Amino acid sequence: MPGVPDAPPNSQANLFLSAPEKEILPLVETAYRANPAEHILYGYSSSGFFTLYTLLGLPGLFRTYLAGCPDTDLINPYWKVNDQNLLSRPNPAPIDLFLTIGGMENGRYQSSQSSFQELLANLQAKNYPGLRLVSEVYPHEDHGAMGMALTYLNGLWRCFPTFNSTERRTLD
């Protein structure tokens, strides 16, 4: 993404960002019974980074953003200078943001614990209009498939508490 350290100068991230809004969501809404007020974007690792990039670039396109291990070492400096769209939303509709990290992440090629905590602190300090932040650390997980599954399942349960509430349980 432009503005991220080591990003190529000819980045086409803006074209990728426009795909959900201009192509994917219209296709889904045409082909399926979908509620536009409840769109969800889920990503893990680099896709988690893209989930946060989408939240900053097109806040409100999705109702819920689930981002697991989202390369917080890269997103933190980017977030600090690119959050104006999220800050200045007029009449902001609610947005749920569910962030996770594995407790055994090592920070070499993925998020580190300190940068994850820094992102959470920055999000809480800014008090973005309409944004509800929920986060979880999975103490026994690294950057593997279990963290990916936990982010997806727990994200849906935490962001939609009435969904299947009688059978709800937390995985970890």
Give CA angle at 111 (145, 16), nearest 5°.
80
3-state class (DSSP) for residue 18: helix
How are strands ordered across the β-sheet holding 95-102? 40-44, 64-68, 95-102, 131-138
Give the pair of three-digit tokens for residue 71: 């390369």
User: What is the per-residue pLDDT across 2-21, written as a single tens digit (0 to 9) for each?
Assistant: 777 777 788 788 788 889 99
Give the pair of three-digit tokens for residue 133: 């932040």
Whole-model pTM: value is 0.88
CB 37 within 8 A of CB 59: no
User: What is the per-residue pLDDT across 35-63, written as a single tens digit (0 to 9) for each?
Assistant: 888 899 999 998 999 999 999 999 989 99
User: What is the per-residue pLDDT across 151-168, written as a single tens digit (0 to 9) for each?
Assistant: 999 998 888 766 555 554
Residue 106: pLDDT over 50 = yes
Among 7, 171, 151, 135, smallest CA distance to 82 is for: 7
CB 1 within 8 A of CB 11: yes
Contacts of 168 (CB under 8 A, 6+ apart): 157, 161
Domain ranges of the chain: 36-167
Per CATH, is 36-167 categorized as 3.40.50.1820?
yes
Give the pair of three-digit tokens for residue 142: 């690294």
Average pLDDT in the 93-97 region?
93
Stretch (H or E) spanning 115:
helix 113-126
User: What is the per-residue pLDDT across 109-134, written as a single tens digit (0 to 9) for each?
Assistant: 556 888 899 999 999 999 899 999 99
